[in-house]
Amino acid sequence: MDWKEEYEKKVVSAEEAVSHINSGDRVAFAYGLEPNDIALALVARTGELENVQLYVPAPGRDLPWYEVGWEEMFNISIGYVLPVARRMMEERRCDYMVSGLRWAEDPSIREPVDVLLIYLSTPDEHGYCSFGASLWDKKKAVRQAGIGIEDYVISGVATSQSVLSRHEKDLGVILIDMGSDLTEILVFLEGKLAHIASLPVAVNLQCHSARQKKAVL
């Protein structure tokens, strides 16, 4: 069986995917934007589930569980108090993961999860998938969740596979991929990766600045 047949066997709907989540399970989103279809399919199981421990490191989507009335179904912990979850935190309806970026860099510091919800691109012609622009801890988190990865590419190359077309690479393009603590710069010429470099400055600097300074607009 080749990888295409194996891939097709594993593709299921969002509804079927979340049907494997049970009451009391520990469910985590990886860093980056939450997969919307899967999140909504989980919300649709209202009345079926209770006491699901839900970990959302960087709340980005305005999902119903941040509102009042979902406490019996979800016990939510967040890593960043972003706008969609700010009221929930102010009303003390969720927990805060006091670990900063270490939560992203080392998943072993949190208890193992039963289900990991994560974005993944469709395979390219060689069978490689991409975690997209937000790599963070995804490789470690997937492995910890018991899902095997046969191979992977570095963050910047994975990002290029998900955001750049073949035509753009043929024309020539510079891709700047900002991660948690490293910014990668990739140069494509005539469809090939011609140069790669990195800078030790990234999102962590912005996060540090946000914690240290305050502005009133």
- Which domains can be identified in the chain, with CATH numbers? 3-153 (3.40.1080.10), 164-217 (3.30.420.40)
Cβ-count burial of 217 within 10 angstroms (0-12 exposed, 13-18 middle, 19+ buried)? Answer: exposed
The full DSSP string for 48-95 is T---EEEEESS--S--GGGSTT-TTTEEEEESS--HHHHHHHHTT-SE
Which pair of tokens denotes residue 119? 């974005």
pLDDT on residue 156: 67
- Whose tokens are 């600045």? That residue is 209
Which pair of tokens denotes residue 92? 């003390």
203-210 long-range contacts, CB within 8 A, separation 24+: 203/178, 203/179, 204/101, 204/180, 207/100, 207/101
Q: Phi and psi for 178 in degrees, rounded to 5?
A: -95, 115
Mean pLDDT by 10 residues, the chain (217 residues): 82 88 91 84 94 91 93 93 93 84 56 82 78 72 61 61 80 80 82 81 58 54
- Whose tokens are 């998938």? That residue is 129
pLDDT on residue 150: 41
Name the percent of the chain lying above pLDDT 90: 26
pLDDT on residue 158: 66
* pTM check: above 0.85: no
**Identity of residue 88:** M
pLDDT on residue 148: 43
Which pair of tokens denotes residue 100? 């900063």
pLDDT on residue 146: 58
pLDDT on residue 133: 64
